[in-house]
Amino acid sequence: MKRIGVFVCWCGSNIAETVDVKKVVEVIKKYPGVAHAEDYIFVCSNPGQKLVQETIKEKRLDSLVIACCSPTLHETTFRDLSRLTGLNPYQCEIANIREQCSWVHKDNKEEATRKAIKIIRTIVEKANQNESLEPISTPVTRQALVIGGGIAGIQASLDIANAGYEVLLVERNPSIGGHMIQLSETFPTLDCSQCILTPKMVEVSRHPKIRVLAYSEVQEISGYVGNFNVKILKKPRYVIEDKCNLCGKCVDVCPVAAPSEFDNNLAARKAIYLPFPQAIPATYTIDIEHCPGFLPIACGKCADVCEPQAIDFDMRPEIIEEKVGAIVVATGYDLYSPKNIGEYGNGKYEDVMDGMQFERLLSATGPTGGEVRRLSDNKVPKRVVFVSCVGSRDTEHHLPYCSKICCMYMAKHAMLYKHKVPDGEAIVFYIDTRAGGKGYEEFVTRTQEEDKVIYIRGKASKIFKNGNGKLIVWGADTLLGKQVEVECDMVVLSMAMVPSNGAKDLISKLKIPSDAYGFVNEAHPKLRPVESISAGFYLAGCTQAPKDIPETVAQASGAASKVTDLFAEEELKHEPIVAAVDEDLCSGCGICVPLCPYDARELEIKDEKRIAKVNEILCEGCGSCISACPSAAVQQRNFKDNQIFKMVDAILS
């Protein structure tokens, strides 16, 4: 029998007010195996920890049960303490008598005390049979994979690379830059988006530790934290990156036009194109959806004029296999489509556009060179209505969440419109204005007071064209309590932000949890905001939730620092609470193999006998295989069957 020490924590009054700790100690002291029992006001405090340490030595304890709060909070504290005192950390157990007892039985002290005793007894039984275990260690591949080349991915890549580690940046579009490269000026300081982003893009392209794989997608992923194997599909551009000298002659001769993604379909590009002048990698791409065809090569005019012979119609997709230790997911967002909004015309009116299109209209690199004009007749609109929360905050029909940044960019749009068209009229329909951020409220006030933008509190209920072909916005002014009807030249819809399309597919490949809308979940909403609960995955930017650029950059740097933390370790430690096979009992039936969700089980031939073995690095200790094994040959370390039976006995006694 072991010599077990039990410490019952009061947790100030959290436990002691409900549980009679003195009585608990008295009863537990007599329980078989318990060599010492004691209560203390805060066992986790410094003096509390000292007390435990001294007692371990003094009473020669070889196991420890701390009856306190949940193990998610202080298990690490006391296991570290055990290690420092010379006791194997896996000999230390937590009995949760706060969340599972005192907090839920506040009005029944007697019952709570009885229950606390039972909980502690159960854990004493477990501790009694615990083995001393050592963490499983594995080497780390010090190369990070960053998925998504928006500002989030760019920042994370730079930070990781600057710390001295290799980075593989995978972007599915022909160029990195994400949505930020499309923005005109950014709130609240109105600095030009491209001017602040392009230096970072150039830095990425020149960085000796960063490899950019644009026009590529992650196809397959396997392995575990520290040792992932990824397969990346590099789509053919049909232009050899290293040969293209950006002369642009191909574009002049290309006979086919297609909508430009960079200009959000407001202008055309050719079938061979550079998404925007500062694109990285700096090379053209043939869009085979619009190029009239390669078998046979229908036109080939681009190849005829390309002096460096950069065009290769026979280029094939390439599969690149790499090993990485950590993965940053930075796939960003897309906008909810106006086609979903019936009452605003399902996207069929040319002069009703979404925020990103208006952003292109405002941009000096946009289709109009920065002049605000109508697509229908190229005239300058004299009255523009901005509508907030389109698709957002609509529990009934669309998305319940707030997209967080629309209030701000709407104010920015109205302000910039007034700067460009001083005699124009800007009207904003808003539900309420959410301007939480440094300098944000002041920015909105400036829009209203200096730039005389009219704010109408209320939702626009309908947008339509009247008999004269004029756009009409119907809405309610909830402050005045009356209906309003505004005739205008243009409407800009602040569409909700949604996870980037294709993110769902990627997330299912990565097997990381996401919320109902497809935003990737963080491990803890407050304390672990840049990690996924799946080890080795980190999140940055709008892939996690809608946010603005400063927050995106901060999160990206946070994710990067978590990656560098991981890479700084010599070896990774993995919990030893895993499945273990008793080879004498295993019949080699193989039932366990397909059941393991982590691919940790496989059959091998050993001494001419089939044995199912466990890859301890992959095993997460879920127990699926254990409950399925008909020979009871698999046991979970420190959760063995006879341990669990003893625990059940103890709680029922």
**Interface contacts to ligand SF4, rule CB under 6 A:** 239, 244-250, 253-256, 271-272, 284, 286, 291-292, 299-302, 305-306, 308, 310-311, 578-579, 595-596, 598, 600-601, 614, 619-626
620 binds, among another protein, ligand SF4, ligand FAD, none (CB under 5 to 8 A by kind): ligand SF4
Instruction: Give the residue from 573, 572, 585 showing the smallest Cα distance to 635.
Output: 585
> Could you say whether residue 552 binds ligand FAD (CB under 6 A)?
yes
Q: Residue with structure tokens 């026009």?
A: 215
> Could you say whether residue 187 binds ligand FAD (CB under 6 A)?
yes
> Could you say whether residue 147 binds ligand FAD (CB under 6 A)?
yes
Binding-site member from 12, 199, 293, 597 for another protein (CB under 8 A): 293
Question: Taking the CB of residue 23, how many other CB atoms lie within 10 A of it?
Answer: 17
The answer to whether 39 and 24 have CB atoms below 8 angstroms apart is yes
> Could you say whether residue 311 binds ligand FAD (CB under 6 A)?
no
Give the residue with the Cβ less far from another protein, 297 or 479. 297
| Alpha carbon distance 286, 239 (integer Å) | 7
| Alpha carbon distance 486, 411 (integer Å) | 19
The answer to whether 78 and 65 have CB atoms below 8 angstroms apart is no
Going by their DSSP bridges, the two strands 471-477 and 285-286 should be labelled as unpaired
Angle value at C-alpha 378, between 377 and 382, nearest 5 degrees: 95
Is-cis flag, bond preceding 188, omega within 30?
A: yes
Give the residue with the Cβ less far from ligand FAD, 52 or 328. 328
Binding-site member from 152, 167, 280, 530 for ligand FAD (CB under 6 A): 152
286 binds, among ligand SF4, ligand FAD, another protein, none (CB under 5 to 8 A by kind): ligand SF4
> Could you say whether residue 314 binds another protein (CB under 8 A)?
yes
Give the residue with the Cβ less far from ligand FAD, 180 or 204. 180
User: CA 317 → CA 169, 233, 237, distances in Å?
Assistant: 18, 7, 9
Size of the site for ligand FAD (CB under 6 A): 40
Alpha-helical segments (H) within 400-523: 406-420, 440-449, 503-510
Give the residue with the Cβ less far from ligand FAD, 495 or 596. 495
Question: Taking the CB of residue 480, how many other CB atoms lie within 10 A of it?
Answer: 11
User: C-alpha dihedral over 590, 595, 601, 605, to 10 degrees?
Assistant: 10
The answer to whether 338 and 346 have CB atoms below 8 angstroms apart is yes
| Alpha carbon distance 97, 616 (integer Å) | 32
Sheet with 216-224, side-by-side order of all strands: 216-224, 227-234, 318-324
223 binds, among ligand SF4, ligand FAD, another protein, none (CB under 5 to 8 A by kind): none
| Alpha carbon distance 409, 406 (integer Å) | 5
Which residues ranging from 241 to 270 are in contact with another protein (CB under 8 A)?
Answer: 254-259, 265-270
212 binds, among ligand SF4, another protein, ligand FAD, none (CB under 5 to 8 A by kind): none
Q: Which two tokens stand for residue 291?
A: 């190029």
Give the residue with the Cβ less far from ligand FAD, 229 or 631. 229
> Could you say whether residue 350 binds another protein (CB under 8 A)?
yes
The answer to whether 90 and 576 have CB atoms below 8 angstroms apart is yes
Q: Which two tokens stand for residue 535?
A: 């080890």
Give the residue with the Cβ less far from another protein, 161 or 250. 250
Nearest approach, Cβ of 496 to another protein (angstroms)? 23
Nearest approach, Cβ of 600 to ligand SF4 (angstroms)? 4
Angle value at C-alpha 521, between 515 and 525, nearest 5 degrees: 115
The answer to whether 237 and 283 have CB atoms below 8 angstroms apart is yes
Give the residue with the Cβ less far from ligand SF4, 209 or 243. 243
Give the residue with the Cβ less far from ligand SF4, 26 or 641. 641
178 binds, among ligand FAD, ligand SF4, another protein, none (CB under 5 to 8 A by kind): ligand FAD
Q: Which two tokens stand for residue 494?
A: 């602040």
Handedness of CA 438, 439, 442, 444 (dihedral sign): negative
Give the residue with the Cβ less far from another protein, 121 or 269. 269
Give the residue with the Cβ less far from ligand FAD, 100 or 337. 337
Give the residue with the Cβ less far from another protein, 300 or 437. 300
| Alpha carbon distance 495, 518 (integer Å) | 17
Backbone dihedral angles phi then psi of residue 130, each to the nearest 5 degrees: -60, 140
> Could you say whether residue 158 binds ligand FAD (CB under 6 A)?
no
Question: Taking the CB of residue 252, how many other CB atoms lie within 10 A of it?
Answer: 11
| Alpha carbon distance 632, 112 (integer Å) | 36
Binding-site member from 17, 241, 548, 575 for ligand FAD (CB under 6 A): 548
The answer to whether 534 and 513 have CB atoms below 8 angstroms apart is yes
DSSP symbol at 324: E
> Could you say whether residue 303 binds another protein (CB under 8 A)?
yes
Q: Which two tokens stand for residue 531?
A: 């990690």
Give the residue with the Cβ less far from ligand FAD, 153 or 366. 153
148 binds, among another protein, ligand FAD, ligand SF4, none (CB under 5 to 8 A by kind): ligand FAD
Binding-site member from 28, 56, 183, 473 for ligand FAD (CB under 6 A): 183
3-state secondary structure of 149: coil
Give the residue with the Cβ less far from another protein, 304 or 515. 304
Nearest approach, Cβ of 431 to another protein (angstroms)? 31
> Could you say whether residue 148 binds ligand FAD (CB under 6 A)?
yes
Question: Taking the CB of residue 138, how many other CB atoms lie within 10 A of it?
Answer: 16
> Could you say whether residue 145 binds ligand FAD (CB under 6 A)?
no
Give the residue with the Cβ less far from ligand FAD, 178 or 458. 178
Give the residue with the Cβ less far from ligand SF4, 306 or 471. 306
Size of the site for another protein (CB under 8 A): 32
| Alpha carbon distance 430, 107 (integer Å) | 48
Window of 201-209, 300-308, 408-416, 533-541 that interacts with another protein by CB under 8 A: 300-308
542 binds, among another protein, ligand FAD, ligand SF4, none (CB under 5 to 8 A by kind): ligand FAD
Angle value at C-alpha 475, between 470 and 479, nearest 5 degrees: 140
The answer to whether 299 and 311 have CB atoms below 8 angstroms apart is no
> Could you say whether residue 547 binds ligand FAD (CB under 6 A)?
yes
3-state secondary structure of 224: strand
Binding-site member from 5, 48, 89, 178 for ligand FAD (CB under 6 A): 178
Which residues ranging from 363 to 382 are in contact with another protein (CB under 8 A)?
Answer: 367-368, 373, 375-376, 378
> Could you say whether residue 409 binds ligand FAD (CB under 6 A)?
yes
> Could you say whether residue 173 binds ligand FAD (CB under 6 A)?
yes
Please count the CA atoms within 13 angstroms of the CA of 624 that sit on its side-chain side: 15
| Residues near ligand FAD, by CB under 6 A | 147-153, 170-173, 178-180, 183, 186-187, 217, 330-333, 335, 355-356, 359, 405, 409, 412, 500, 502-503, 506, 541-542, 547-550, 552
| Residues near another protein, by CB under 8 A | 254-259, 265-270, 292-293, 295-301, 303-304, 313-314, 350, 367-368, 373, 375-376, 378
